[in-house]
Amino acid sequence: MSKDLSNYRKSYEKQELLESNCPENPMELFQTWFRNADDSEMVDETNAMNIATIGADGFPKNRIVLLKKFTWEGFIFYTNYNSEKGKAIEDNNNICLSFFWPALEQQIIIKGIAEKQAENLSDGYFESRPDGSKLGAWASNQSTVVASRNELEESLASFENDFRGKEIIRPKHWGGYLVKPISIEFWQGRPNRLHDRIRYHLAEDFSWKIERLAP
């Protein structure tokens, strides 16, 4: 099977990113870009982000997860701590997050340090989830091999029975991570492949150094 993609091209001409428009703190710019994307009817699931980790086999692995909150401190998502992703973070908590909004010709690349959230914060978010999602966190041993779809359905039915008429509490193996950024790059598509790339890098005094990167 072969398909030549060499003629696939697009000219990026929608917006620009100049240093004069960059605030001192990258989280302020992230908030602006995120809100613009979220308000756009052309962007679906604005909070879908790619997370890259390094596994025990030495290979990087990317997957899409959902950003659930961002603060001045960083970016928060939730997962099964016993999953392949969770085990990779336990061994090496240097990770990379990225957002790509093609309709806006924008991407954001974040290098950061992942830390488990306090249990009470994970409890609070878990309580806000629909019951089906709560039960799913119990029913699925994420990243393990299962014999069939039926095995998953039977596991879910078992936990539905166990929790019938009871509060569905958060399993201890499930919770949140806060990713504290050390580098955030904002990429804006521009004509002739001369894209705008502005990178914020955290300095030793905890100020942010702003640099333009060649495209």
Catalytic residue among 35, 63, 193, 212: 193
Cβ contacts of residue 197 below 8 Å, gap of 6+? 185, 186, 187, 188, 212, 213, 214, 215
User: DSSP alpha helices (H): ranges in 21-107?
Assistant: 26-39, 84-91
Among this protein's residues, is 190 annotated catalytic?
no
**At 138, is the secondary structure helix, strand, or coil?**
helix
* Positions of E strands within the chain: 48-54, 60-66, 69-70, 75-80, 94-101, 106-116, 174-188, 196-202, 208-213
Supply the residues annotated as catalytic.
Answer: 193
